[in-house]
Amino acid sequence: MPAAAKCRLIKRVAEFVPRALWKNVPDGTRGIYTLQKQDGRNVFNVVYVGMAGGRQAGIWSRLESHNRSKIKKWTHFSVFEVHDNVMPEDVREIEGLLRHLYRKTIYANHHNKQVRHGPFTKIRVRQVRLRKEEWGESV
């Protein structure tokens, strides 16, 4: 009997990998990735959040295009590979969540064109309505 997965969505993680090693990511890897700029010994600022959810173009292809770009200044990257049964829509939602979280940072916001995940605007609880009794309502 195969061992149970450690995480339900994420299959494998590689964090804070030096930029020079981007070619080591297997082509066709699906999931979320971040580009980081090392500012200090153990500080890695996120400058970009991206995804590769399709079966044809993987994270390797995305990193290749970022590597050719002169605009984004990054020194490291992290990859969060999803399990094979995770749907592309799920990968887009995870990416949307991360971009939404980083939308007001001075680093990631500059490079991410889509800084707000559209579906979140439909389910968002406005601050003025954020009362305990309303939080429990189903959407």
Alpha helices, DSSP H, located in 1-139: 59-68, 88-102, 108-111, 118-123, 132-135
Task: Show me where the domains of the chain are located.
Answer: 10-121
- pTM recorded for the entire structure: 0.74
Note whether 60 and 91 are within 8 A (CB): no
**The domain 10-121: what is its CATH number?**
3.40.1440
User: For 49-101, how does the pLDDT look when each residue is reduced to its tens digit (9 = 90+)?
Assistant: 889 976 668 999 999 999 998 877 899 999 999 999 999 989 988 888 888 88
Query: Position of tokens 């020079």?
Result: 20
Beta-carbon count within 10 A of 29 CB: 21
